[in-house]
Structure 1
Amino acid sequence: MYRTLAWLALGAFAIGSEGLMIAGILPRIAEDLGIPVAHAGHLVTIFALAYAVGSPLIAVATARWERRTLLITAMAVFSLANLAAAFATGFLTLAASRIVLALSAGTFMPAAFAYGAMSVEPAKRGRALSFIYTGMTVALVIGVPLGTAIAAHLGWRATFGMVAAMSLLVLAGIVLKLPAVSGPPAPGLADRLAVARRSDVLEVIGLTVVVLAGAFGVYTFIGAYLETVLGASPEAVAGFLILAGLAGAAGNTLGGHAADRWNHRRFLAIVLTVLVASFGVLPLIPAFLPGLGGWVGAGLVLVLWGLFGWAFPAVQQVRLLAIDPRLASVLLALNASAIYLGTAAGAAIGAVVVERYSVQAVGWVGAATEVLALVFLLATPYRPAREAPAGGEVSTVARADAAE
């Protein structure tokens, strides 16, 4: 299983590296293109909106495509878009490249998760999805620092060239190593469009939006918190983020096992409780843990966020798949859109809080948002089929002969 899905995880690594490293190279992009940094920052917003809006629409339009064919097409476009970004002559051409990057990434990731879900038996579905998602967490640990270092020494265009080369490698691996998988009959267009209005679907993706808003309201400004509140150097901040990334990789694995073996609702309640406590501690650290103790406390918060926060996506994906496996691609695309909408909302709310109050206050806002998420989870109807471990499901999809 893992040998085949490794190409999808590597694809997630390439997509995660491109999406996350942009924040670290914005000053160099702005300088090279002769625009303000704030103007260059719109590249992040453009990407997020294109991904959030485009991913579910493309999933609906391509629901009848065979997953392997869709993966090949999406990764080929993603490779070309990175090359276009590397040779962009101005802001508009770079922005256009970022839109294509978002649309191709928003096509690849749901298709990769759908392929992973269809290529294994239900008892292993959570672990398969978390293994693919590991590419994102590894991008946080390795891809982002690597891209930033390349931009510092070779220029920002070289970072897009690096991702393009990586993407071409992934494309070759998918073409040569990934077998086609058989899945359930594709639903009709009306079913695909109606899925976004279903209450059970809205319950899951609504929770995703709120949880991500709380998490990224804090994470977006964690570097500023570490530097201005705790006096950490930029090098120390990088160390903290690597620590969070390593914890995230472990959390992703934890989420896969939880999705397969534990009751989903109870596990998510534990996740949200830990996030509430962790974020709520941040504003108190300077007063109660001065000096080195503050660094240790902040490091513990980041470890808990990585371990439990990154366990959240795999469980949510399996909850969605339990609703209707036939609609896997559309459901996972909606979840991806929810992730990006939550991330954008959290960053925007955090910016207002920092501007009006202080960077310390983002911890309170993050904790309050996760309390809201916990209330939302507990208030939604209990649906046994959705909350049962994936190992308890009856298989509804065919398993690929070569999946193992």
Structure 2
Amino acid sequence: MYGSLTFLIWLTLGAFAIGTEGFMIAGLLPALARDLDVGLAAAGHLVTAFSLAYAVGAPIMAVLTARLERRRLLAIAMGGFTLANLLAAVAPGYAELLAARLLLALSAASFMPAASGYAAALGGPERRGRALSMVTNGLTLAIVAGVPLGVLVGEGFGWRATFLGVAGLAALALLGILAGLPHQPAGTTATLGERLAMAKRRDVLAVLATSVLTVAGTFTIYTYLGVFLADVSAVGPQGLALVLLGFGLASAAGTRLGGDAADRWGARPTVIVGGGLTLLAYLVLSLGSGVGPRSAMPILFPAILLWGLASWGLMTAQQARLVALSSALAPVSLSLNSSAIYLGSATGAAAGALVVAEGAAAQLGWLAAGFGLAALLPLLAEGRKRAG
């Protein structure tokens, strides 16, 4: 008999802290660039560096920590994340902040796959989608509350205060994990070579490709959303906070709906529908950016809501697809998916930086649409093979 999912609230809080730190930087980029005396594209590379470190670090950290009891691993990772936020808050310059973000990435890369694997094991086959969505909801709730609040706190008290706030959240999650989370033994141990071998499986690789391309589309725009909206609709920091709040609410709803839909109708159909709706949202953002500042937001805001709803629902179903391929190796496949997500984040942030550096932020939607279309191709190819 599987345990109660109530215990997962501490993993939700840990994911909330990680999501707040990871996503709030999009609203802080202009202030960071000014304070650290670097260009906007260079500030955006803080996202790229974090994402690359996470993508490379996730499988390596999974191997190094494979034999640790799960609660102990989660506590160590959240403790490192707390410390790294404190270092970021007192960083005297760009290089020191970059180093702190690398430590944040390695801590998050240790925590998130372990949290998802812990949730999948606790939920069991019949509640796997709901259990995974509880962890993912921590990230989406971070976008709902943490990111808009981070923008407002950063505007009023400086960007360093946001890192101090996240350190407090992480410390609370750490205490909850130690006091309230049941022990769970280490699962299947796999070497780095075995993990790479699993990544070479065609069925796994197809799922990972969809994750990379989907997230690349998201971060092409999301990393520079403040710049994009200021360019096409003259939205300021307070307006940006409201837009991010709407995006976060839609993402939270999408995460829950994605988990339920994966359990009820299957993960692959859920991903196809989510990917199609995400692509539609990007196309509307692209077309709406050219109507002029006064008329843009009535078009852009509904598209942003659809984008959040569809893209986050899709990612919950992606996790369920990987677990279904081999439930015994769920920690392995989920760590690979985490790497894919952050590889996509790095790709999108870097691609967006090139566009922003050319002064063409209004064109970010078209680039995201290209990634969104490419994300659907592995799914369509898989469908043709099944039909044949």
Q: Say which is worse superposed, 312-321 or 231-240, in terms of deviation.
A: 231-240
Q: Say which is worse superposed, 23-32 or 50-59, in terms of deviation.
A: 23-32
2:16 aligns with 13
Q: How does 1:342-353 map to 2 (within 5 A)?
A: 342-353=344-355
1:378 aligns with 380
2:172 to 169, 173, 176: 169
Change in Cα spacing, 1:241 to 1:188, as seen in structure 2 (3 Å) is closer
Distance 1:180 1:242 in 2: 35
2:121 aligns with 118
Change in Cα spacing, 1:189 to 1:35, as seen in structure 2 (3 Å) is closer
Distance 1:29 1:292 in 2: 28
Distance 2:187 2:33 in 1: 48
Change in Cα spacing, 1:272 to 1:179, as seen in structure 2 (3 Å) is same
| Amino acid of the structure 2 residue aligned with 1:64 | R
Distance 2:371 2:33 in 1: 33
Q: How does 1:272-291 map to 2 (within 5 A)?
A: 272-285=275-288
Alpha carbons 1:187, 1:326 under 8 Å: kept: no
Distance 1:185 1:351 in 2: 39
Distance 1:293 1:146 in 2: 27
1:300 aligns with 302
Distance 1:161 1:367 in 2: 36
Distance 1:383 1:71 in 2: 40
Displacement of 1:77 in angstroms is: 1.2
1:325 aligns with 327
1:181 aligns with 184
Alpha carbons 1:255, 1:314 under 8 Å: kept: yes
Distance 1:54 1:101 in 2: 11
SS for the counterpart of 2:66 is: coil
Between Structure 1 and Structure 2, the one with more helix by share is: 2
The TM-score, its normalising length taken from structure 1, stands at 0.86
1:389 aligns with none
Distance 2:234 2:30 in 1: 22
SS for the counterpart of 2:183 is: coil
2:59 to 56, 59, 62: 56
Change in Cα spacing, 1:362 to 1:188, as seen in structure 2 (3 Å) is closer
- Paired residues, number: 383
Displacement of 1:323 in angstroms is: 1.9
| Amino acid of the structure 1 residue aligned with 2:259 | G
- Which segments of 5 or more consecutive residues in structure 1 lack a partner in the other structure? 385-404
Deviations 1:252-277 (A, max 9, x none): 11111012111222222211221222
Displacement of 1:40 in angstroms is: 4.3
1:212 to 212, 215, 218: 215
Distance 1:203 1:52 in 2: 17
- Which segments of 5 or more consecutive residues in structure 2 lack a partner in the other structure? none
2:112 to 109, 123, 134: 109
Q: Percent of aligned positions with the same letter in both sequences? A: 47
1:338 aligns with 340
1:132 aligns with 135
The TM-score, its normalising length taken from structure 2, stands at 0.89
Greater gyration radius: 1
1:232 to 231, 235, 245: 235
Change in Cα spacing, 1:263 to 1:184, as seen in structure 2 (3 Å) is same
Displacement of 1:219 in angstroms is: 3.0
Displacement of 1:22 in angstroms is: 2.6
Alpha carbons 1:118, 1:183 under 8 Å: kept: no
